[in-house]
Amino acid sequence: MYMLLKNLIAVCILTCVLCTPCMLWAQEEATSTDEWLAAYERGAQSAEETLDTLLTMADQAYYRYDYPLLEELLTASFPLTKKIADQQLLGRFRWLRAECKMNTGDRAGAVELLQQSMRDFQAAGDSIRYVEVLRRMANNHDYLGNHENAIKLYEECLQLAEELEHWKLKAAVFDNLGGLYSEEGNFEKSFEYYLQAEELARSIGYSRRLRSILHGVAIAHRFQGNEAKSLEYTLKMGAETVNLKDSGFYYQCLAAHHLRFGPNYNASEKYALKALEIGQKIKNEQLRTNAYDKLEQIYYATGRYKDAYHVAKTLHAESDSLYNLENTKLIETINAQYQTEKSERELAEKNQQLQQATYQVERQERNLFIMGMMAVLLLAIVFLVYRGYVLRKRSEALLRVKNDEIQRHVDQVENVNATKSRWFVNVAHELRTPLTLIAGPIRRVLSNYDLPGEVREDLKLVDRNTNSLTGLVNEILDLSKLEAGKMALREEVVDLKALVVHLVEGFESRAVQLGVSLHVDICDEVALQADRDKLTKLLINLISNALKFTPAGGDVQVSVRRFEEEVIVAVQDSGHGIRKEDLPYIFERFYQSSDPNVEASGGTGIGLALSREIALMHEGELSVTSEVGKGSTFRLALPASRVTSQVKAAPDQTTIAPNEEVRLPSTADNPTLLLVEDNSDMRSYIGRLLADQFEVLEAGNGLQGLEVLKEKSVRFIISDVMMPEMDGISFLKEVKAHAKWKHIPFVHLSALSDTEMRKEALRIGIDDFLMKPFDPEELIIRVQNLYENYLSRVAHQEDADEHVSYEDRMLSRLREEVLANLDDSHFNVLRLADAAAMSERQLYRYLKAHTGLTPNRFIQEIKLNKAIELAENKVYVSTAELASALGFKQASYFSTLFEKRFGRKPTAILKEQ
């Protein structure tokens, strides 16, 4: 019973739909074309007025799909276009001609006319018609299969339609994009655009576009194999039909539906014949071609091969007829031109024969001579070209061999330099630990014991030379950082005068020992934006070199001069000077002069190379002038752009007095300190330093350290960085990821001054660094400060709010951070991790353990909950505004997430009353 009722309803709907087009075909007659042209001939109105009237009538015929009348009106309008210069009228005429060509299948001709029409509307300032023609250009790219260009043009149309508030055009573009993605098989995107198109068309009452949208949706469902939806939208399309062309496409859609599902060949044939009849009547090439195509498939499938043959023959004959007609016209034109040229050529030949009769023999002889000369010349050219080719190939082969040899040599030199640099760095790193074990005990003995004068002087000598060796090690490591591109400037305001005076004063005792007169000459106060440490290294290098190469009785002068464009620091000596052949290489790394005076003074060949790199990092230049026997002058030129009026006081140079002993607070029960270090001597040395204040537990690497942490209650951790099995960075990650251990103060000891490694450790949560070799008193001071701060934090935390757990406070802090950055589209997991003082991996583990969400889902959930609150309170009027306020770059992506989370689109909630 239900099925019978359903079929009766379907029949009724079909009857109404099929009758509707017939009822709507009757249209009012427009004013005769001849009458308007006659009025123009009589001078009753201008060419522009007449053309405007005819084009308005043509617009009406186009919107009724009355293409015969449209062709008639455009033919009548054509002579008038030659008499006017109005860009807007010309654009309208060319646009309508393009529509006619598209109706007959001449897409190439249509594209050319559309391009001309766009230029006309652009010149006339008609933005509305410009963007409408732009959409038709996109339609043509779509039709010809160039989807990439079509999508670009459609997107441009959407943007312009939004600016112009042209909602009909926007609905049409959504419809076109739905069809494009349906043809590509991307039905999800297709239905998304069709839905937007249908909603917009219904909201503005755009019934003409609604029929096209319903047609497209029906086709998409047919491609998907959804019979029910295909028929549903086909019938909806029929219910909206109001003109003959719409009826034709409706019948075509019914024919395709019955051919696809069932198939029902009788019904499909009936509707295909109706579509063909309408296509022939309105001269629509697309309708006729599609109808013939469906009929050919039906006849072939039902075994009516003769009918199928005739349909196919008719289809191909029609498609070839236009081509044959155009070819016929072309052949006639070419033939006429050929006959004319033939007559002219015959006349010219007769005249030429008369003129050539007298000198034909001479011309032949001259031609033979010229041809002979040309042949000889050609042979010479061929020979020269071939010879040049052979020589070029031979030269290229030799050049390739030479280049290969040079490249091999360059590679070998680079490999040697790289190996040499790696060796220096490895040696320097290995030297830092023993230097620590030498310098530390010596300084402790010097500061804590009463020693005989001779013994104290000997130990001071050892301490000074240890410092010198440490300086060389640091130079080698600085050079390695420069080569790796890891050395960066740490700029601050530097009082250049105070710095130079301080450095010169430090060298005075050395100058006295050498018998050299050391002077300083500074004209003005100069403050620079510079890296104090690196600038100090550069100047120390220049001054120490000047003292080294100046004999007793000589002079060394350090001067500072400020000029308009630069500041010059000069170090001038009266030493042996530098030979001319050494000057070009003096700043190269590892360069050693063959001069006996220089060889006797030694050196690594690193200092000046490093100094020049530091000068370049400051956008300056380090240069030298020298004359053998008279001395050398090194000049550091820094740009005036680095000069500043702000002067920062030099850092405090005070140190701990030798007799002042620094000790940690001692208690009856000493806290436990874990010392993780692979060098047993270093473990023993540090253990002795801290034994009075801590119970020191030792471990040889990170894995052993973790075992100790599991078994003992540890209050402080000191760890080396480079260790076997588990290094210091990995050990730090494990400690900071553990809820019980992550608050323990943690200090890294390292022989490497790697900035990237330090940044990584800081991100993980390191409390302090100490570089080897270190001062034992400095280690004690840092441990003391960190441990006291740790005890203060623990006491404060216990008093602050004992009822709120750490996890609750952390989650609340994370939520507040997300809410504070709601509208920031660049806010991401990395920034949330930074705000929580965690690494991304720690944040992931923490949120997963306490909320079950990943960091991305955690941020997304907070934003979506805020979104529904704002939507329900109608704070914003559109989805785009709401998405932007919540930091989403794409409104469509936000809408999808919102619907997936709450089951409704944000648009629906925003439109609720």
Q: Of 170, 156, 876, nearest to 894 (Cα)? A: 876
Residue type, 536: T
Specify the pLDDT at position 769.
80
Our measurement of the distance from residue 400's CA atom to the centroid of its chain's CA atoms, rounded to an integer in Å, reads 39
The confidence score (pLDDT) of residue 731 equals 94
DSSP H or E segment with residue 626: strand 621-627
A 10 A CB-CB count for 258 gives 23
Provide the pairing of β-strand 768-771 with 517-522.
unpaired
Do 543 and 558 touch, CB atoms closer than 8 A? yes
Low-confidence ranges of the chain (pLDDT < 70): 1-44, 316-354, 358, 414, 417-418, 420-430, 432-433, 437, 448-449, 453-454, 458, 461, 464, 468, 475-487, 590, 592-605, 645-669, 751-755, 795-806, 913
How far is Cα 531 from Cα 529, in angstroms, rounded to an integer?
7
Task: Report pLDDT for 333.
Answer: 37
Cα-to-chain-centroid distance, residue 290 = 46
Kindly state the tokens that stand for 845: 């583990």
| The pLDDT value given to residue 620 | 92
84 neighbors 47 (Cβ within 8 angstroms): yes
Residues whose CB falls within 8 Å of the CB of residue 104, separated by 6 or more in sequence, listed in order: 283, 285, 322
Which amino acid, 244? L
Look up the CATH number of domain 488-642: 3.30.565.10
The CATH class, in words, for 806-911 is mainly alpha
Largest CA distance in the chain: 137
Which element (helix H / strand E) includes 292? helix 285-301
Kindly give the residue spans of alpha helices, DSSP state H, lying in 642-701. 680-690
CA distance 757 to 760: 5
Strands 517-522 and 492-495: unpaired
* pLDDT for the residue numbered 667: 41
CA angle 868, 870, 871 (to 5 degrees): 60
Print burial letters for 882-892: b (CB count within 10 Å at least 16), e (below 16): bbbbbbbeebe
Location of structure tokens 């006729």:
288
Q: Residues 517, 557: contact at Cβ < 8 Å? A: no
CA distance 250 to 232: 13
819 vs 295: CA distance, rounded Å: 63
CATH of 672-776, one of 3.40.50.2300, 1.10.10.10, 3.40.50.970, 3.50.50.60: 3.40.50.2300
Predicted confidence (pLDDT) per residue in 375-429, tens digit? 999 999 998 998 888 888 888 888 888 888 888 887 787 677 667 666 666 666 6
Extents of the domains making up the chain? 488-642, 672-776, 806-911
Predicted model pTM: 0.35
Find the radius of gyration of the CA atoms of the chain: 46
Closest by CA to 537, choosing from 426, 622, 640, is 622
Does residue 476 contact residue 753 with C-beta atoms inside 8 Å? Answer: no
Strand pairing category for 716-720 and 695-699: unpaired
Contact 832, 843 (CB under 8 A): yes
Q: What is the pLDDT of residue 597?
A: 55
Using the CB atoms, write b or e for 457-480: b if 16+ within 10 Å: eebeeebeebeebbeebbbbbbbb
* Phi, psi torsion values for 643, nearest 5 degrees: -75, 135
Of residues 18, 27, 86, 15, the one with CA closest to residue 52: 86
Tell me how far apart the alpha carbons of residues 644 and 634 are, in angstroms, rounded to a whole number. Answer: 24
What own/partner pairs with CB < 8 Å and gap ≥ 24 does 852-860 have? 855/829, 856/829, 858/814, 858/818, 859/818, 859/827, 859/828, 859/829, 859/832, 860/897
Q: What is the pLDDT of residue 704?
A: 93
Backbone angles phi, psi at 562, to 5 degrees: -110, 125
- Cα(686)–Cα(2) distance, rounded to whole angstroms? 93
Residue 651 is predicted with a pLDDT of 43
What count of Cα atoms within 13 Å lies in the side-chain half-sphere of residue 690? 28
Q: Would the CA dihedral through 889, 892, 897, 901 be positive or negative? A: positive
Residue 871 CB partners (closer than 8 Å, separation 6+): 882, 906, 909, 910
DSSP H or E run through 616: helix 607-617
